[in-house]
A and B are shown apart, each in its own frame.
Chain A
């Protein structure tokens, strides 16, 4: 292995090295600074004349007398079952003061694509205990369902609540949480860690922390490290792994930084044209594989810059993930937790995960009716703002009330309130009973007779 002292240029996170032996694309690089400290990087561009290295731990202090060593290997993560309960840095080194991880295996962090032919369609209902998710936008095992949030909204609380409460009912199967933080603040990290420790969840978790003051470029590694660990636990140890990635917006900023440093042609808002492909190589690592017991479910969190859902980051994410949970500043301002706006939210995989034998037989039609009624109520609010409530018909007023109650009783719940699916559906039925029965056009007669409070009372 040869060492070079031929750095000719340092530009932002990039280091240019000349006159090397042939170096492989994607190779892992270590740079030794004059003071003896080392940095790691990866080959981004290689040719007979120049090699471009992106340095993950920042280029501060690197000068032309630094030594560059090409390892001939690509970036790998030491993985082991003992990772559970450990806290690692954004590039995979233990930072909890504990011993080094004795690797069972050293895995490439760039995961190969799952062959679509080897996948199994996700259809196992995960009960999160949150009505707005379980009832309206059901999560299933192997899904990737992001939270689209804004700055200042309680997305971390929701993610923690999901991590705490998520379970597949009637099964005592082993689960684990892999948590990857990218560019979040110490305070936020502290909140997560405290909650993990208090609830004992840390024992079943692997935590990767890249904090706001850690090098931005390291963020490009963190989610891949986390998913490599998740794949190992899921496919070698049959665990059901929930991966929480927060905050993907910081990841995308790092991607833009590298792209700008390389002087690439920018796409929308300066983000590189390959951001879709790049994000896909992260999100598509969720899923189930035929014949393997373990699964990977992803819940990435991103903050929409300016609450704009058409911003490239939420936009490209939405095109890859199987739905999205959208948080609303308006609901948050009303004091409603979790402030989930169900109208733009969606779970693409729920149709197979709900209904008889999975949640309950009436769930599908109940869901349609709840959506339609709430959408109508919200629409009417716009009208009320113009003509006043008095001008509405009796029917319209009921819908208006439905929308208010929907937010207050159905969406709103405690941070530690774990509602089972029957409770969620039951609250929904109570709300639906505020409407005239003839309005329940999306629900078949037999379910109305079975679950509508008016009939249940009669039966009792």
Chain B
């Protein structure tokens, strides 16, 4: 038998798939292909040949070209400097790529993920002679004003500290030495396809607060939970994802633009440094890691991008932070899998997707969770995945397989988007399996009647949907008075509470107290309406009553509370009820 080396030859090239000959390779080893050293990953072994998916354009690669196996799986570099970064799907910083190859992305460029020259002020919390295990905190550096970057012992390392240093170091400098001679640095590497270990998973019973009324109040997601946003194009997936990335109350946000539009990533890049985090008053970028693999960038790197993103998220989780990760869109990721599977000539499953689609999706979402970390802290990773179903048809495989896993479903609706009802989340189709577990938290922390109000609003909306079917047939005039009033109240819930303007400076973010106040005041108006009806007012008079328009606009005011009070006062006067 032929002796195999870490250096082999190209046997065949077909698009992003390269077949290597005479190469010693294990599954998921990273290889360098051709003179330019294009990066690729082993995705299959057949006889003496290795199948490699290449992360860059393979034009010009020919049989006989050299392939080198690095012997390492695809890994990310974890350490200070991650925040504020913008990477491609395999963690190459885009600004460095621009410096190296100009405005267009060239081939075979290698750029270190973390800044090699930056010095970080390291303060140890362990001392010589301490025993440390994987995941333990050695000390910390202040990465941004509000994020203290804990320096962790790599999860697979343990031992007794023989040396520990303090002061300014780069990510390559040694900051501690173990008795067995292992040198620990500010950064370490971790393979992206292997979840980082933790002690145990904890029940998700704290809500992720997004400042979006329909999400927080009607369909909340828990910290450490999973949510999916499926919707046809133009229904507002990306805007919703951006809103979540902006306003979620997590310490760190990882945003993955997976196979999406270049201009949208640019929008994030231009906007985030300008926007303030509502909790710290600092630019949002200071807590954000962006991963941008736009639709025209190589497909294999797109497949890797979600793993890169979630591994970075897990790393911050291990420091004890709450992290949220937005993947826009997981359909593009699934399509990348399909494309590569097709090139590998695998037997296709439903709609050409590989048969392992469901298990890959499940594996990905299972990396979410609220956990007790190896060092005993509590951290969480919340995953929100956008899904782009072809033709807006939710019965397609990616949507269906995702729904089997995630606990929260925010269904975007093209019809709502067409009437400019945003966020275009359909309140009848969406659901949250956390609603009951989180009700307790809301009742305790915001208002004791929170869950009661939520139930009331949901009932009115459901009732409205039933009545609409009749209205479609006979017109609203044929309904009894109390039902016509209900339609008006439902309209208020929809237009005042559910509609929220992402681009309005005040309305873009709505804290929980304000959410409660608005919903509660709609309930108050509802009660006034019914009292007026009982006292003999005509339904036309009630619906057209002056003050309602003012009430509807109150949410746009900085001082919304007095605006609401004034409007309600007006409504009371005009209706003649208390």
Contacts and interface: CB of A to CB of B under 8 A. Distances in A.
Interface residues of B, number: 76
B58 interface: yes
A401 to B, nearest CB: 17
Nearest to B104: A112
Interface string B81-111: 0000010000000110110011111110000
Contacts of B393: 310
A293 interface: no
B342 A45 contact: no
B477 A320 contact: no
A351 B503 contact: yes
Contacts of A117: 86, 94-95, 97-98, 269, 292
Interface in B463-490: 472-475, 477
Nearest to A108: B59
Interface stretch (B61-69, B244-252, B317-325): B61-69
B483 to A, nearest CB: 16
Interface in A98-146: 110-122, 142-143
Contact of B352 (A48, A273, A376): A273
B352 A114 contact: no
Interface in B5-29: 11-15, 19, 21
Interface in B342-372: 342, 345, 348, 351-352
B259 interface: yes
Nearest to B422: A368
A318 interface: yes
Given A116-B269, A117-B98, A310-B392, A25 B13 contact: yes
A371 B62 contact: no
Contacts of B295: 276-277, 280, 284, 320
A265 to B, nearest CB: 5
A215 interface: no
B103 A383 contact: no
B104 A114 contact: yes
Interface string B37-71: 00000000000000000000111111111000000
Given A46-B62, A111-B104, A277-B295, A287 B263 contact: yes
Contacts of B475: 383, 387, 391-392
Interface in B381-431: 388, 390-393, 414, 418-420
B104 A276 contact: no
Contacts of A281: 296
B51 to A, nearest CB: 13
Contact of A284 (B86, B97, B294): B294
A116 B94 contact: yes
Given A22-B64, A119-B262, A320-B261, A112 B11 contact: no
Nearest to A387: B475
Interface in A383-398: 383, 386-387, 391-393
A324 interface: yes
Given A47-B12, A113-B296, A113-B297, A315 B352 contact: no
A120 B266 contact: yes
Contact of B98 (A23, A115, A143, A280): A115
A292 B234 contact: no
B173 interface: no
Contacts of B267: 121
Q: How large is the interface on A (under 10, 10 to 19, 20 to 34, 35 or more residues)?
A: 35 or more
Nearest to B297: A113
Given A113-B105, A273-B335, A284-B262, A118 B294 contact: no
A334 interface: no
A344 B473 CA distance: 25
**Most chain A beta-carbon contacts within 10 A, residue among B234, B265, B388:** B234
A376 B491 CA distance: 14
Interface in A296-351: 309-312, 315-316, 318-320, 322-324, 343-344, 346, 348-349, 351
Nearest to A45: B14
Contacts of A25: 13-15, 58-62
Contact of A371 (B11, B103, B419): B419
Label chain B's interface by main secondary structure: mixed
B154 to A, nearest CB: 30
A277 B299 contact: yes
A375 B392 CA distance: 20
Contacts of A280: 259, 294-296
B62 A267 contact: no
B549 interface: yes
**Most chain B beta-carbon contacts within 10 A, residue among A267, A310, A311, A438:** A267
Contacts of A290: 103
A46 B233 CA distance: 37
Contact of B265 (A23, A116, A312, A322): A116
A265 B339 CA distance: 9
Contacts of B261: 284, 320, 322
A26 interface: yes
Contacts of A287: 262-263
**Most chain B beta-carbon contacts within 10 A, residue among A116, A120, A283, A312:** A116
B150 interface: no
Nearest to B266: A119
A237 interface: no
B332 interface: yes
Interface in A212-252: none
A438 B15 CA distance: 60
A454 interface: no
Contact of A44 (B14, B61, B62, B474): B14
Interface in B199-252: 232-234
B287 interface: no
Given A387-B474, A392-B475, A112 B105 contact: yes
B231 to A, nearest CB: 11
Contact of B420 (A264, A283, A368, A392): A368
B458 interface: no
Nearest to A349: B263
A273 B104 contact: no
Nearest to B347: A265
B420 A371 contact: yes
Contacts of A368: 420
A319 B388 contact: yes
A289 B104 CA distance: 10
Nearest to B329: A319
Contacts of A349: 263
Given A276-B295, A281-B296, A115 B59 contact: no
9 smallest A-B Cβ distances: which pairs? Answer: A310-B391, A47-B12, A280-B295, A26-B59, A284-B296, A117-B94, A112-B104, A25-B13, A318-B233
10 contacts: A22-B62, A26-B59, A45-B12, A112-B106, A267-B338, A274-B299, A310-B390, A344-B414, A348-B234, A371-B420
